[in-house]
Structure 1
Amino acid sequence: MAYAEKRYKIRNGKPTKQFTWRAKYRKPDGTEGSEPGFPTKKIAEDWGDEQERKIKEGTWIDPDRYRSPFGKFARKYMAERPKRGRTVGTRWDLLEAHILPKWEHAPLISLNWFDVDSWQMTLPCDDVTKGHCVSLMSTILTGAVDARWLPVNPIQGRRRTKAVATTPAVAPAGSDEEKVFTPESVLQVAERLGPAKGLHVITTAWTGINWGEGLGLQRANCLRVRSQPWGNATWQCFVLRVVQEVAEYEERDESGRKLGTVQRIEPTKNAFRTRDLDLPPFLARLWFYHLADWPFDWMLCTPTGKWWRRSNWLKQLRPAADGREERKKRQGVAYREEWPPLAPGMTMRALRHTHDSWQDQIGVRAALSFEQAGHKRPGIKGVYQHPTPDMRQHRLDEMEDLFWTAMRNLGWTSLWGRVSLVKPPAGDDLPNLSQTISMEDYRRDRRGYRSRSEAM
């Protein structure tokens, strides 16, 4: 049974005649809880009785917890709710740069939607980042509710207020040409990069594989075969199987302290990202050559067999896409020719956007375009509609045509001066790969072709 105690105020080390009442009640663990500052005995006893009633109902929340600073529970949440490595780093970046400077010392119970919404409107960042900040705060506060640190999440399910524009609208900084690249420019950049690095660029543009998924490709998952019934026969095509990715992120300990940048293999982001990417015939052929030549198990790695770091890859891609100045030969420095710009601003992410734009351009059905991009298709159609061999063949035919049209426009018949795209002469011991690689040729000649390529 709750009760109340009279507590006299202290002034200059001596009790005065002024007093308040302290509520006393029994906590779930058997210890005694107390709450000071009530003006009357009745109010203190009623408050204590209410706590014991909630304890019996199982709805009680310790006042010490909901008065805890937001930052304290945020660190507890981050330590006890681990996510994928890159996601953890992104969350800590949002906390340190935007959320904790404002809310670290705010009691959990003091947070309300009006204050949070007003705060996010003033953040000095883009609107997407503002949304991520509010979403992360809501996720943490929901965790506080689940952990019995809060009775309710005050910002859950609320729609953010967009900041009022104070300057006249201006044209977007980037044009469509900077977001989607032509097949010709993709091939030109790939030609500059050379066979292995160039194949990475071409594969990204023609399949939509993302950066980490490309680095995670191993030999056993390349040029696998998709088979589906088609009429009275079986339809087949070569695929790259995506089952993992290489994540590069800032590793942190449980308190958020940075431990350095690491690269690690992780499962794909979700079930939709685990997929088989259908290869147009020309790309299957290029991968056939690459598998024969490449000595490492990681198929899109550095020339020394290591995973590419983003910064090191950009040192390769930027001059190939943006161009570079001529460098004169001098002592200790080799001559380097000038490269005019081919595709300024090209990134691997932009190439993934390019691929999806190409899919829309050539009329790829939604069921297939979502699958190949690794996206979940929203709505009931995502449950009922699935790719058919006819859809797949249409996509491959159109992707193949994009390649050959670009090659004709460039006047090319080979890539990197070593991969001939012309039908081999009669009697050559290589399989006929002028337009495709047949399953029979691939299975029969793969071993012999690898030996022949290594000898060249």
Structure 2
Amino acid sequence: MAHAEKVYKVRNGAKTKQFTWRARYQRPDGSTGSEPGFPTKVLAEEWGAKQEAQIKEGTWIDPDKYRSPFGQFARKYMAERPKRGRTVSTRWDLLDTYILPKWDHAPLISLNWFDVDSWQMLLPCDDVTKGHCVSLMSTILTGAVDARWLPINPVKGRQRTKAVVHTPAAPADEDEEKVFTAEAVLRVAERLGPAKGLHVITTAWTGINWGEGLGIQREHFRVRRQQWGKSHWECFVLRIAQEVAEYEERDEHGKKKGTVLKLEPTKNEWRTRDLDLPPFLARLWHYHLADWPYDWMLCTPSGKWWRRNNWGAKQLRPAADGRPERKKRQGCSYRAEWEPIAPGMTMRGLRHTHDSWQDQIGVRAALSFEQAGHKRPGIKRVYQHPTPAMRQARLDGLEEIFWEAMGNLGWSSLWGRVSLVKPPAAPAEDDLLNAPQTISMEDYRRARAGYKSSSEAM
């Protein structure tokens, strides 16, 4: 039973007549717990009785735990709640850069929404990062509640206060937000050559993200077959079932171990999907499968995964932004000048471009969410699903964008060796590889019109 004890104060090594009261109570494991510092015996006994009542109810939280520093539980949470490597790296970056410098030694029980909200308003970062910091803190504090280190999460479900901006905000970084023309995409791809250029074209015409592209292997090029009416509808697809993540690896205590490239499963169930390929892109992939000596289809010329910076700085940036002429000298070969084509082009920007093209050609929501790897909100996700007619309409629209760009550029082939063919009907694999002719945009339109007419007649 809870009771109270006197605790005499000591001065210069000698006990004085001054004292406070210590509460004593029985803990769940049978040991005796204590809490000092009460001014009266009644308050100490009441506090001890309250602890024993909560223990009987199953709601008791050890005071030693809720007084623990936030940083202590945050490190415990990171060690015992592993996520995908890139996610873990991002979380540690937020903790090291923004969260722990402020809250590392703050007792869990001392945290409150007013202080957290005031802190996030003054963080020296963009508003999205501020939101990620608060979200991560809330996730960790919810873990503390679940682990019985804290009675409630003071951050959960609260709406952040946006900082007052007295000067106009700087424009968003355009490098990540541009929508590029199909002509610009093709010119950059032509400049990069067949293997690297295919990566650019595939991103723009399918919306695949960087890590997903690196994770494509030969076996992921396949055929989609769906029953439709009296026959089957077919198209070539790229199966997205994994991705290559590049991140700063950490040990269980958060110590950096170096940057790594690792193969991981997709981020969630929505990211595992089959990307429908327009006929021209399926043909390019057939050529690539025949030429490329490696199992990883969008890797470096030596068969290794691309480093993000190496691809961006040494490949895509010069091809899109242009580069100066380099004279021949000892140790360096001559390099021709490249004029700018699409300054600011990035792989993320190409993904944005694809989604914008989908909206431009009127792709149905059920299909656009599926192809982008996004979870569609609302009840329509349950009731609406892509049909072959939707898929064909999307492929027709993407094919039209490609051929119109080729016509505007005056091109009938890419890289001086790949002649592109568009038969009027959906081709079989052998037809794709052995099609006898190249056609113009006008030929394509006439062929497509004839194909639609014949399909409607059926």
Give the alignment's TM-score, normalised by structure 2: 0.92
Question: Shift in Å at residue 178 of structure 1?
Answer: 5.8
Q: Tell me which residue corresponds to 2:455.
A: none
The 1:440/1:245 distance shift into structure 2, 3 A limit, reads closer
Distance 2:173 2:258 in 1: 33
Contact kept, 8 Å, 2:174 with 2:344, in 1: the verdict is no
Distance 2:412 2:233 in 1: 29
Match of 1:293 among 287, 291, 294: 291
Distance 1:176 1:435 in 2: 38
Q: Tell me which residue corresponds to 2:267.
A: 269
The 1:300/1:375 distance shift into structure 2, 3 A limit, reads same
Q: Tell me which residue corresponds to 1:316.
A: 315
Percent identity of paired positions between Structure 1 and Structure 2 = 79
Contact kept, 8 Å, 2:176 with 2:344, in 1: the verdict is no
- What SS is found at the alignment partner of 2:404? helix
Distance 2:114 2:223 in 1: 56
The 1:440/1:217 distance shift into structure 2, 3 A limit, reads closer
Is 1:391 matched with 2:390? yes
Distance 2:288 2:426 in 1: 14
Q: Tell me which residue corresponds to 2:454.
A: none
- What SS is found at the alignment partner of 1:35? strand
Distance 2:170 2:296 in 1: 43
Q: Tell me which residue corresponds to 1:226.
A: 224
The 1:442/1:77 distance shift into structure 2, 3 A limit, reads farther
Could you list the per-position Cα deviations for residues 3-38 of structure 1 after superposition, in whole angstroms to 9, with x for gaps in the alignment? 111001111111111100001111111111100001
Contact kept, 8 Å, 2:248 with 2:258, in 1: the verdict is yes
Distance 2:75 2:365 in 1: 42
Q: Tell me which residue corresponds to 2:246.
A: 248
Contact kept, 8 Å, 2:120 with 2:130, in 1: the verdict is yes
Q: Which runs of 5+ in 1 are unaligned?
A: 424-432, 447-456
Letter paired with 1:98: Y
- What SS is found at the alignment partner of 1:150? coil
Letter paired with 1:299: M
Contact kept, 8 Å, 1:285 with 1:437, in 2: the verdict is no
Contact kept, 8 Å, 1:244 with 1:266, in 2: the verdict is yes
Question: Shift in Å at residue 281 of structure 1?
Answer: 0.3
Question: Shift in Å at residue 57 of structure 1?
Answer: 1.1
Question: Shift in Å at residue 438 of structure 1?
Answer: 2.2
The equivalences for 1:387-426 within 5 A come to 387-421=386-420
Distance 1:217 1:267 in 2: 12
The 1:177/1:81 distance shift into structure 2, 3 A limit, reads closer
Q: Tell me which residue corresponds to 1:429.
A: none
Could you list the per-position Cα deviations for residues 317-355 of structure 1 after superposition, in whole angstroms to 9, with x for gaps in the alignment? 110011000011122211100001101111111110100
- What SS is found at the alignment partner of 2:23? strand
The 1:177/1:250 distance shift into structure 2, 3 A limit, reads closer
- 4+ runs of 1 displaced by more than 3 Å? 173-178, 433-437, 442-446
Contact kept, 8 Å, 1:241 with 1:275, in 2: the verdict is yes
Question: Shift in Å at residue 443 of structure 1?
Answer: 9.5
Contact kept, 8 Å, 2:228 with 2:388, in 1: the verdict is yes
- What SS is found at the alignment partner of 2:336? coil
The 1:435/1:329 distance shift into structure 2, 3 A limit, reads farther
Distance 2:55 2:133 in 1: 34
Contact kept, 8 Å, 2:234 with 2:426, in 1: the verdict is no
Letter paired with 2:201: I
Number of residues of Structure 1 aligned to a counterpart in Structure 2:
434
Contact kept, 8 Å, 1:2 with 1:23, in 2: the verdict is yes
Q: Tell me which residue corresponds to 2:79.
A: 79
The 1:285/1:329 distance shift into structure 2, 3 A limit, reads same
Q: Tell me which residue corresponds to 1:54.
A: 54
The 1:24/1:305 distance shift into structure 2, 3 A limit, reads same
Letter paired with 1:82: P
Letter paired with 1:12: N
The equivalences for 1:85-100 within 5 A come to 85-100=85-100
Q: Tell me which residue corresponds to 1:439.
A: 428
